[in-house]
Amino acid sequence: MTDDPFELPFGDEFDPDSPAAAMARLRDRFHSIHPQASVIITGYAALELEVDQILRSFVARPEKLPRLSMDHQLGLLRAMLDDPWLDSALNAISAFGAIRNSVAHGDPAEVIDRSILNLEKKSREIGLPLESYPSLGVLAMHLASSLHVGTEFYECIVRDRQ
């Protein structure tokens, strides 16, 4: 055996119903879809929480908001915030979501790669070139922070106009 915590034991030690076996099957399933599949799923979940938090900060009664899909949340933010850079940031987040959807649906690698190329284009538009990041998870963190910084900047501009 190696130092891999997910390596399955051999021979009589192998229990296909063990938690280690389940984790190894999950790891293998993710890798069969895309090398960064688990990072994409996790990054998207984190982005979803951040988008929800931002949206709730802009409405008078956030407790009245129903559970909305990411596309609906992004659409509401676009409708509420009149800022071209924020539109581009929301487009990049939406492109990240398209990658997540491809991974979640088990699309072929070429479909996922096309979605990644679209994310590359969208992230470049807001100054976050994809090749600058070691993984899509790191890019997701930068997209989340860009969203927060962009909305704070937007609020300052709106306050200054009043």
Average pLDDT in the 138-143 region?
95
**pTM, entire model:** 0.83
Check: CB of residue 33 under 8 Å from CB of residue 106: yes
Q: Which has more confidence, 134 or 45?
A: 45
SS (H, E, C) 88-148: HHHHHHHHHHHHHHHHHCCCCHHHHHHHHHHHHHHHHHCCCCHHHCCCHHHHHHHHHHHHH
Q: Are 37 and 30 in contact (CB under 8 A)?
A: yes
Q: Which amino acid is at 108?
A: P
Q: Which amino acid is at 4?
A: D
In this structure, the number of other CB atoms found within 10 A of the CB of residue 31 comes to 12
| Reported confidence tier of residue 98, pLDDT bands at 50, 70, 90 | very high
Rounded percentage of the chain residues whose pLDDT exceeds 70: 91
* pLDDT, the chain, mean: 89
Q: Please state which of the ranges 45-54, 83-92, 103-112, 137-146 shows the lowest mean pLDDT.
A: 103-112
Domain ranges of the chain: 1-33, 36-161
pLDDT tens-digit map of 1-54: 456 655 666 566 668 787 877 877 887 888 888 888 889 999 999 999 999 999
